[in-house]
Amino acid sequence: MSDAHEHSHAPANFNRAFAIGIGLNIVFVAIEAFYGWKINSLALLADAGHNLSDVAGLVLAWGGALAGKLRPNVRHTYGWKRGSILAAFANALLLLVAIGALVWEAVGRLVSPDPLAGTEGGTIMAVAAVGIVVNTVTALLFMRGGKKDLNIRGAFLHMAADALVSGGVVVAGALTLWMGWVWLDPVVSLLIAAVILLGTWSLFRQSLHLLFDGVPDSVDLMAVRQSLLDLPGVTQVHDLHVWAMGTSQIAMTAHLITPGGHPDDAFYRHAADVLHDRFEITHVTLQVVREPFMPLCGEVAPS
């Protein structure tokens, strides 16, 4: 059995982004809680509790990122890279719960409008404006990593969603003070909840898919098979498996049939380079034999 491993392009370090984001959001929770208590606003106090869950979400994502960097050992030969997938999945669940709470609150306000909307609307809008700044800055810290790392994308979506909610509060509050439309705030909240759900559902689906060793969305399995068949001397590909080790690293194993004999090191180096450059597969294990002798394990047949 022969192995070819490519370990370049390690996940980017977002420790500073997490530390800043968590610090900013803890300060904002304190501001919301203080003014909620001062003006007796249940809405601000409830949102302070919601933003406290955002801090928990950031801590969770940070923990998943740190777990993914732990070195392998004899008990965990891949390390704890899957921790980042678990963190992304947990963040998706937190967002779905937050959406449910937002919808519940909005429906409640449609049935029983908040009397504070007309008396303390200015204070609520000012606090929400602070929330826009805090959540936008935090989201921007994670934006560059959200395209390639599902865990970082979860942190980005969490913060972007809250910035959107705070923006909706400011706009709805201004129109309510100007036009007296008390019903506008809950309607805007429902619209925002629908927008957040669209992004969150994708995060939930992808993280759940990866938890069950699904082929990452960025990888075309049949194209991988064809790339292996295109290698010199390869006539068949058996037991091809591709899965995510974490939210930023992809692994692959396969049995290659080469009737002409066993290849040299250049063959494995070329195979690893092709798989890395075309599919960003960073961990490649290839078993090369002249004729198949291992039983197939229910792999997907080529189309």
CATH code for position 100: 1.20.1510.10
Percent of all residues in the chain with a pLDDT value above 90, rounded to a whole number? 24
pLDDT score of 6 more than 50: no
Tell me whether residue 7 is in a domain: no
d(CA 44, CA 161): 17
pLDDT of residue 45: 66
pLDDT score of 14 more than 90: no
Determine the structural domain holding residue 57 and report its residue range. Answer: 12-211
Half-sphere exposure of 130 (CA within 13 A, CB side): 19
Domain-ending residue, one of 211, 244, 260: 211
pLDDT score of 215 more than 60: yes
pLDDT of residue 41: 62
pLDDT in tens, 219-271: 999 999 999 999 999 999 999 999 998 877 899 999 999 998 888 899 999 99
Same domain, residue pair 34 and 112? yes
CB atoms within 10 A of CB 215: 19
Tell me whether residue 160 is in a domain: yes
Same domain, residue pair 18 and 155? yes
Domain-ending residue, one of 154, 177, 211: 211
Tell me whether residue 297 is in a domain: no
* Tokens representing residue 217 in the block: 């969305």
Q: For residue 49, list its beta bridge partners.
A: none
Number of domains in the chain: 2
pTM of the model: 0.73
Same domain, residue pair 120 and 250? no
d(CA 229, CA 122): 66
Same domain, residue pair 135 and 235? no
pLDDT in tens, 106-123: 788 778 766 555 556 677
pLDDT of residue 123: 77
pLDDT score of 25 more than 60: yes
Helices 184-211 and 83-111, interaxial angle, to 10°?
Answer: 160
